[in-house]
Structure formats: C-alpha cells, structure tokens
Structure 1
Amino acid sequence: MPRTIWSGAISFGLVTVPIHVVSATEDHSVRFHQYHLADMGRVRVKKVCELEDREVGNAEIGKGYEYAKDQVVPISDQELSNLPLPTAKAIEIAAFVPLESVDPIQIGEGYYLTPDGAVAAKPYKLLVQALGRSSKVAVAKYAWSGRERLGLVRALEGALVLHAMRWPDEIRDPSEIFPPPVEVDEDEIEGALALMDTMAREDLAGEEFQDTYTEALAKVIEAKREHQPLPEAPTEPEQPGQVLDLMSALQESVDKARSSRGEAADADVHDLSRAKKTAARKTPAKKTAAKTAKKTTTAKKSAAKKTAGRKPRSA
C-alpha cells in the first residue's frame, strides 16, 4: 500500500466522505547521482546561508516570501496548514461535467482516494456508483502544499481517482505557435484518416507501449558493470529532411502500418477512404431499416393486445 500523501474528506452538497490520498502511479526511471570522475567520490549539494557563509541543517531552514529585495516574510508550515480556506481540509466538489468537456492539457498527476474507515465506505461507494452511472466527472477544489488547486474526480473500476488540474489561466494561448497559412486538400485529409484507421487500437496493451528506454539503459549499466561490450544501437532508416509529396508519405505510412500487423501492404489510400465513406453511408440505412422493422413489430404486437383485450359487443 503506498504511503498517504494527504488526509481529509471529499465534500459534495451535504455528503462528506473521509479519505486518504495515495499516489496512483509509479516512476520506474533509472536515477543517477553526481560523482567526481577522478576518484568517483560522491558530489553533493550543500545548503549554505549567504549571509553567514556556512552550511545550515534542515532544522534551521524555513519558508519565506521575498516581498522586496530587503524584506522577506517568513511563513511556517503551521501557518500554511491553517490557511482560512474551506478547501484546506477537504476536496470541495464544485460541479459535475462531461469528461469530454475537460481539455486534456489541463489534466496532470493521478491519485487514488481511499475511504478512511468503515464510516466512509457507504458514501464512498455511493459517489463511485453515481459517477459511473452519470458518465460524468466531478470538478473540485483543494489546497495542498501552500496553494489551492483544481482537480478532477472520476470513478475507475470501483475506486475514486483525483487528477490534479491546471487553472484555466495557466494554459497558454495556442495561437502563439500556429503554423503559417497553408491549404490542405480533401484527398490529403482522407489519406490521413485512412492512416489513422490503419493504426487504430482498442487499448494500449502491447510491446509498442513498453518503456524500452529504461530497458536499454539497464542493459548498458549491466554491460559496464560486467566490463562487457556495450549493446549496439539499432540502425535507424534515413529520414527525408522535407516531405515533398504528402500523399506519397501517407501511402507509405499506411503500407508500413498494415505490414506490421500482418496485412497486405498494397492497399491504396484512396480506396481505404472510399471504403470508409461507403460503410458510413450504409450504416444509417441499416439502422433505419432496423428501426422501421422494430416499429412495425411493436405496432403489430400492440394491435394484437388491444384485439385480445377488447370485449365482444352484446347482441
């Protein structure tokens, strides 16, 4: 069980759920330290007071806000924990919204919310089931580490997950990085859509989604430890500096994607896009026919019930 990061409660309306917050993710990155290469002695960072020119210990160090060059306002952890905020001890749900209404660029780290004791079990499960049935997520406010934050609470396989979010004013305007004006024709768009269909997956399971960097780094470290030759890097195919023919690039990409999945690699991009359009046109017709047949059957059944329930007229 991961260690508790924060304890408090989820609050929506008059319902309160005592919870503990634990990390929902793990970092498997390889960590490096700094060493003096001449003798491999560890190089450490020391905390030095600029005024006294001496190293200070953690017990002597505290937080402060530089109000001006010659004025620093000290702030203690106790003062931060007693901020006059309703979110200081609770995750206050402000609204419930469809997940697709939240821009993914706002969503950050994920945390599991675990119920705090038997008394929290029922309201916890209530919120899990209500979120699952509504197909919505909760947007909440909470205060951690000296600042109020925005969060997203959702249900995941019977558990509640809190995602840290950025405030809307923290998102930069994307118009700053727009490309120069350029025209893209319909064939190129259809070619890109055909490539996307070829690369479509139902989930993220598979070798493509494994951390190969960490695996390769572990092999290098092991080889150096055993004084063995380093593993050779794979040769990368030469990439063109500039794409001159976009349709040719799309066609080659579709061929490679189909070949990697064991399919025929000679399908034309235009044929794939036409097949998709044809399938899209046929689907509504089938649905309409099915709906018509269903309505006819229902109407017949209703008429039969009315006839059966009708009393004969008296002579």
Structure 2
Amino acid sequence: MPRPLWNGAISFGPVTIPVKLMGATEDRSVRFHQVHTEDLGRVRVRKYCEAEDREVSAGEIGKGFEVSKDTLVAVTDEELEKMPLPTAKAIEIVAFVPAASIDPVRLSGDSYFLQYDGQVAVEPYVLIARALTRNTKVAVAKLAWHGRERLVLLRVRDGALVAHVLKWDDEVRDPSELASKDAKVTDSEIDEALLLVESGPGSVK
C-alpha cells in the first residue's frame, strides 16, 4: 500500500478510531512531454514575477489571497496550519444517510482508503465497517486537510473504509436551466424508452 497522506481519527459520539488515510487510486494514463517540434528539445515552464519581470525560484514563491481587484495579501503555510478548524486531526462523522441520497455529481473524484492505526483501533474499525455494511448506509463526515475543511463520504469496500471527497452545496451548479420545458413526451414513448433500457447491452434482469 502507498504511504499515508494523513493521520488522525474517525470521530462520532464517544467513539474515536485512529486511522491513516492513503490514496485509493493511481494514475495509469500515458504522459507526454512538451517538445520543440523543430529539434525535439524539451519545453520548460519558467515562473516569472510580474512586478520585477524576472524568473523566480521555488523558494521565492508563496501563497497570496486576493481581497480585492489587484490587491493580494500574503498567506503562509504556518498561518494555514494555525487556522482554528475543529476537524484538524479528525474525520468527524456528522450524519448517516442512505447511499442513494448522495448525488453522484457531488463526488469530486478523489478517493482514499482508511486504514486502522494500531491494534487499539482494529475492533472499533471493524465494528463501524460491518455496521455500515449491514445497514447499507454511508457516513457523511468533515475533514480538515491542506488548510481547508472538506466534506467526505465514508463507505465500505471489501471490508475496508473508503473516503470519497464531496463537493459542498455551493460548489454544485444548478442544472435546472438545462432541462427543456417545451418538449412533449407521451407515456407510450416513455414505455418504449424503458424497453430499450431494460433490453440494452449489459442490462441486468
């Protein structure tokens, strides 16, 4: 398994389960380098400072937050670490909900395995995993990571807990304007479409 990306604990009620978080997927896509077509020389991206019109090194680059147009405030990693996030070292479960109630559009695509951390965590880890499996529900939790609080969905896969990062409500766009309000569809046409769905490739009876 890959090295842990985060250490903390799952927390709900009086229960605390020390866990490690690690990547659940790996990128197998083919990667290409940018090259100069004349001689196949590698094309490099260099970072320039607009104010001084010169190239800067990685050690000179920091973070800046735009408070208004053309006005930036410097923010350091130390300041981000000190932000008073209640879930700084915890995956705080806030609700248990039916899996079908989670809109897939809210899944960000980032998934992580949670591994119990130490023997003391084994029993409560297995307990919550089996409870979720038997109840067919998923857990919604908050997790602070990289200076911001994230929403995650916890579910069970082959006995292991998996965390899927979710989008917050205000990060999901309203699709209502995309739906046509003028199309006239009859019940018989819907029935025909259902037959196609039920008899289509890969359909399971």
Q: Structure 1 length as normaliser, TM-score? A: 0.61
1:83-114 CA distances to partner (integer Å, 9 max, x unpaired)? 10111111110011111111111122211111
Matches within 5 A, 1:80-99: 80-99=80-99
1:112 and 2:113 correspond: yes
1:67 and 2:67 correspond: yes
1:79 aligned counterpart, secondary structure = helix
1:42 aligned counterpart, secondary structure = coil
Aligned partner of 1:2 in structure 2 is 2
What is the one-letter code of the residue matched to 1:162? A
Does the aligned pair in 2 maintain the 1:142–1:149 contact within 8 Å? yes
Aligned partner of 1:161 in structure 2 is 162
2:44 aligned counterpart, secondary structure = coil
Aligned partner of 1:189 in structure 2 is 190
Cα deviation, residue 82, structure 1:
2.2
Identify the structure with bigger relative contact order (alpha carbons < 8 Å, sequence gap 6+): 2
Question: For residues 187 and 169 of structure 1, what CA distance do their matches in structure 2 show?
Answer: 38
Cα deviation, residue 71, structure 1:
3.9
In the comparison of the two structures, how many residue pairs are matched? 204
Does the aligned pair in 2 maintain the 1:154–1:160 contact within 8 Å? yes
Q: Which deviates more from structure 2 when the two are superposed, residues 89-98 or residues 48-57?
A: 48-57
2:5 aligned counterpart, secondary structure = strand
1:256-277 CA distances to partner (integer Å, 9 max, x unpaired)? xxxxxxxxxxxxxxxxxxxx9x
Does the aligned pair in 2 maintain the 1:82–1:88 contact within 8 Å? no
Does the aligned pair in 1 maintain the 2:197–2:203 contact within 8 Å? no
Could you tell me the percent identity over the aligned residues?
56
Aligned partner of 1:177 in structure 2 is 178
1:7-62 CA distances to partner (integer Å, 9 max, x unpaired)? 21111111111111111112221111111111111001111112222221111111
Closer/same/farther in 2, CA of residues 202 and 90 from structure 1, 3 Å limit: farther
Question: For residues 192 and 163 of structure 2, what CA distance do their matches in structure 1 show?
Answer: 38
1:277-314 CA distances to partner (integer Å, 9 max, x unpaired)? xxxxxxxxxxxxxxxxxxxxxxxxxxxxxxxxxxxxxx
Question: For residues 126 and 202 of structure 1, what CA distance do their matches in structure 2 show?
Answer: 35
1:143 and 2:112 correspond: no
What is the one-letter code of the residue matched to 2:2? P
What is the one-letter code of the residue matched to 1:87? T
1:193-243 CA distances to partner (integer Å, 9 max, x unpaired)? 11111126478xxxxxxxxxxxxxxxxxxxxxxxxxxxxxxxxxxxxxxxx
What is the one-letter code of the residue matched to 1:170? E
Question: For residues 132 and 146 of structure 2, what CA distance do their matches in structure 1 show?
Answer: 28
Question: For residues 119 and 59 of structure 2, what CA distance do their matches in structure 1 show?
Answer: 38
Closer/same/farther in 2, CA of residues 99 and 121 from structure 1, 3 Å limit: same
Aligned partner of 1:27 in structure 2 is 27
Matches within 5 A, 1:263-278: none
Greater fraction of residues in strand:
2
Say what the alpha-carbon RMSD is for the aligned residues.
1.8
